[in-house]
Structures are given as structure tokens and as C-alpha cells.
Amino acid sequence: MSDSANRALVPFNIRDLSPYVAGKTIAEVRGEYNPPEISKLASNENRLGCSSNVKREVAKALEVIQDYPDPISRQLREVLAEQNKVDPSNIIIAAGSESIISILCRTFFLNNEEAITADVTFVGFFVQVNIRGVSLKKIPVTKDYRFDLDAMAEAITNRTKMIYIANPNNPTGTYITKSEFSQFMRKVPDDVLVIMDEAYFEYAQEVSDYPHSMDYDYDNVITLRTFSKAYGLAGFRVGYAIASKEIIENMMKTKLTFEPTTPAQAAALAALGDPDFIKKSKKVIEEGKRRLYQFFEEQQVAYVPSIANSVLMILPTEEQAINFMQAMLEKGVILRRTNAFGLSNGIRITVGRKKEMIHFEQSFKKVMENTKILS
Ligand SMILES: *Cc1c(COP(=O)(O)O)cnc(C)c1O
């Protein structure tokens, strides 16, 4: 396609998007570097896998795979409603929170409206808003890498339709507190939607000043949850939103009818039936974080304390972040740079089992011995 034809066909908001750069897979790293051990600590997945109940239920779902899925995930919706003490009509289930974010953008924006979020947050929101072609105000995070809610409230205009807050945030692992949330909500007009993306809720929920957005009674708040993280089902693609009946009803109109798939619905249901797996996962994450913090203290590396299952490491420059990530990759430790999330000199480390954390530490030490990455 010639350049001018390309310009004519593709709207500027799509042309300006960067293609998604996926992290390397385990198979790719094996093929390229063949390290003795590989630890994938790049995408905040659960390194414990998922509940052992999942396989059996998915096998059953395969017996009816010729039939279309239940478009409203009735059974899963009922269980989630019960668990969250809401009515099923307050819940929509889709192919991951990313799909939910896409649904939000399709459902609520008029062309001249705008959204507000932080400059360092979940890349999925940046992408879906840009696809929809509405303008996005990215408010700088505070010096300690937290959402600057005062500045975000001040940025609201009569064109603002949606505010996105990941709590805890990705890639920083930081969170907004109960009192910050209440104060902020006092400043937000009723006709502005506040998206509370709680992808890491299971890990965060016991932190004493962490607000469960579900426990508040705001008609303009939409809570997002996912099965991709603590539940260990990222490959199945199941996420959901909880909101007022009216909001959910309208989101249902723009959802792709048959997502998530039947096996995905079955997997999520099976996972909900195994709270012990979540308990075990949380314990592993707590231990892994404690270990990692201590390691970073010893190594005098700057990091950001997290209530999610990842920890953000801060390097002095972008170049050092690139070199560090590459050197670790060659040792078999797959990490995630945070440049797409708005932070060029950060590396996000997903917390894994003891085995993976030891692999990280040993590789880190070797990388630092051999190079001058941090000096
Ligand atoms: C990982 C993540 C998601 C995940 O989305 P899925 O599409 O459900 O896999 C959503 N929001 C945040 C903040 C995340 O970190």
C-alpha cells in the first residue's frame, strides 16, 4: 500500500497506535538462549498455575463445544452475584477485563468526550480509548508512583465522561486508600463514570485501608475484576464488571455476543469453587514479595512497595532498563519493561514461587557482576 493510500484508509488514531509488543514466550527464550532454567515473571500471571478443579470442568464443557456459549454466562454470573452480594443484573462477563474496557469505550463515549487516567498505568486502557478516538488526559503520577487524585479531579471538564483507576495500579503496585477514594468521589460529578479496575483484588483485599469499590454505593462507579491473575486463568480470557443495572444493561448491548467461550465459563466457575487455591497463592506472593524487598534493600536497588503480585524496580535510565531486561532474558528470567505503561526506566517483576525468586536473585547477581548496568 502506498503512503497516501495508507493515509486515506486508516484513521489517524489507529495509525498512531503502537502494535502490542508481547513479552517473549518460554518457547522463544528456550529457542534463542537455551538457559538451564526459565522463569516467566513478565505478565503477572499466577506461577502456581490454576485450581486443579479446572481441567475436569473444562473437559465436560468440551462435550458441548459444537453449541454456542451462553451469551450471558448465566451460571457464572449467579455465583459471582452471590459472592459479591449483588443481583446478577449488576454483572457483565466478557473475554477478560481488556474486553470489558473495550465494551466501556464502545458503550459510553461520544466523539467529543474525553477520559482521564494516570500517565503510568495499564496500557490496555490507553489502547482502547485511542481506538475509540476520544481524547485522553494522562495525569502524572506522584513522586511515589501513585495516582494523583487531586490533579485528576481538577482535570475534570464538562467533556469528561470516564476516569480510569487501576487499584492497585499496574505496573506500580501502589494503591489509593479508603479516605482518598471517598474524598475523590465527592469531587466527581454524578455523570462521570469512575472505572475501578481491581485486577489484583484477591491479593489486595486484606490491606486495611484498601477500599473495596463494591462496598460503596456510587451509581457512577464500575468495578472491574478478572480471572487472569490470582485465579490463574489468563489463557481462558474471563473478566467481569459490576455496576448499576442500567449501566450493565447498556454494556450488554455492545458486548460481542458469545464471549467468553463455554470452556472459559466452565473454568471460571471451577476456579471459584476452590478458595484454597487463592489462599495458597496469596501466601506465596506475600513470601515472595518479602524476599524480593529484602533482596532489593541488600542490593541497594530502588523499588516500589506493592500490594499486587508484582514489584516495580526503578533503574536510573531507560538504556539501563533495556540492558538489564535483555541480560536477565539471556539467563532465562523473563521480565517486563514498563515503557508501554508510560514509565521508560522501570522493570516490572511478577512475584513467583521461591524457586523463581531464587532464579531471579542469582541471575541478577551474575548480571551485575558481569556488567556495569547499575553504575
Ligand atoms: C492484567 C490486568 C488486566 C487483565 O486483563 P484480562 O484482559 O482480564 O486478562 C486488567 N487490568 C489490569 C490493571 C491488569 O493489570
Q: What is the pLDDT of residue 375?
A: 57
As given in the structure block, the three cell numbers for residue 315 are 533503574
Structural contact between residues 56 and 285, judged by C-beta atoms closer than 8 angstroms: no
As given in the structure block, the three cell numbers for residue 86 are 449483588
pTM, 2 dp: 0.95
Q: Does domain 53-272 have CATH number 3.40.462.20?
A: no
Kindly give the number of the ligand 1 atom that is closest to the alpha carbon of 308: 15
Is pLDDT above 90 for 370?
no
Is pLDDT above 90 for 3?
no
| Residue in 262, 238, 258 with CA at minimum distance from that of residue 63 | 262
The protein residue whose alpha carbon is closest to atom 14 in ligand 1 is 199
42 lines ligand 1 (CB under 6 A): no
122 lines ligand 1 (CB under 6 A): yes
Structural contact between residues 88 and 248, judged by C-beta atoms closer than 8 angstroms: no
Q: Which residues contact 103 (CB under 8 A, 6 or more apart)?
A: 92, 94, 241, 251, 254, 255
- Whole-number Å distance, alpha carbon 300 to ligand 1 midpoint, is 30
Reply yes or no: is the peptide bond before residue 305 cis, omega within 30 of 0. no
| Residue in 93, 87, 67 with CA at minimum distance from that of residue 256 | 93
Residues in the chain: 375
What is the C-alpha to C-alpha distance for residues 166 and 172, in angstroms, rounded to an integer?
10
Instruction: Give the mean pLDDT of 246-272.
Output: 98
Is pLDDT above 60 for 5?
no
Instruction: Give the mean pLDDT of 187-195.
Output: 98
Q: What's phi and psi for 190, nearest 5 deg?
A: -60, -25
Structural contact between residues 183 and 152, judged by C-beta atoms closer than 8 angstroms: no
What is the C-alpha to C-alpha distance for residues 271 and 227, in angstroms, rounded to an integer?
8
Catalogue the long-range contacts made by 254-259 (C-beta closer than 8 Å, 24 or more residues apart). 254/103, 254/106, 254/107, 255/92, 255/94, 255/99, 255/103, 256/94, 256/95, 256/99, 257/71, 258/68, 258/69, 258/71, 259/69, 259/94, 259/95, 259/99
- Whole-number Å distance, alpha carbon 2 to ligand 1 midpoint, is 36
- Whole-number Å distance, alpha carbon 243 to ligand 1 midpoint, is 18
Kindly give the number of the ligand 1 atom that is closest to the alpha carbon of 100: 7
Mutate to test the pocket of ligand 1, among 41, 92, 97, 126 (most ligand atoms within 8 A of CB): 97
Reported as a single tens digit per residue, the pLDDT across 316-359 is 999 999 999 999 999 999 999 999 999 999 999 999 999 999 99
**Banded pLDDT at 305 (limits 50, 70, 90):** very high
- Whole-number Å distance, alpha carbon 306 to ligand 1 midpoint, is 16
Neighbours of 316 (CB within 10 A): 12
The protein residue whose alpha carbon is closest to atom 5 in ligand 1 is 97
Q: What is the pLDDT of residue 232?
A: 98
Kindly give the number of the ligand 1 atom that is closest to the alpha carbon of 125: 11
**3-class DSSP assignment, residue 97:** helix
Given this structure, which CATH class describes domain 10-40+276-370? alpha beta
45 lines ligand 1 (CB under 6 A): no
| Residue in 279, 218, 257 with CA at minimum distance from that of residue 51 | 279
Higher pLDDT, 373 or 230: 230
What is the C-alpha to C-alpha distance for residues 92 and 88, in angstroms, rounded to an integer?
8
Is pLDDT above 70 for 296?
yes
- Whole-number Å distance, alpha carbon 310 to ligand 1 midpoint, is 13
Instruction: Give the mean pLDDT of 172-177.
Output: 98
Kindly give the number of the ligand 1 atom that is closest to the alpha carbon of 229: 1
173 lines ligand 1 (CB under 6 A): no
What is the C-alpha to C-alpha distance for residues 239 and 334, in angstroms, rounded to an integer?
25
Structural contact between residues 137 and 114, judged by C-beta atoms closer than 8 angstroms: yes
Same topology between domain 10-40+276-370 and domain 53-272:
no
What is the C-alpha to C-alpha distance for residues 38 and 363, in angstroms, rounded to an integer?
11
Instruction: Give the mean pLDDT of 39-60.
Output: 97
Q: What is the pLDDT of residue 357?
A: 98
Instruction: Tell me the pLDDT of the chain averaged across its residues.
Output: 95
Query: Could you state, in order of their start, the residue ranges of all structural domains in the chain?
Result: 10-40+276-370, 53-272
**3-class DSSP assignment, residue 277:** helix
Q: Which residues contact 266 (CB under 8 A, 6 or more apart)?
A: 57, 58, 60, 61
Residues 335-353 as b/e (b if ≥16 CB within 10 A, e otherwise) read bbbbbbbbbebbbbbbbbb
Q: What is the pLDDT of residue 264?
A: 98
- Whole-number Å distance, alpha carbon 233 to ligand 1 midpoint, is 11
| Terminal-residue alpha carbon distance, the chain | 46
Orientation of helix 354-370 relative to helix 318-330, angle to 10°:
120
What is the C-alpha to C-alpha distance for residues 165 and 199, in angstroms, rounded to an integer?
11
Reported as a single tens digit per residue, the pLDDT across 92-102 is 999 999 999 99
The DSSP bridge partners found for residue 27 are none
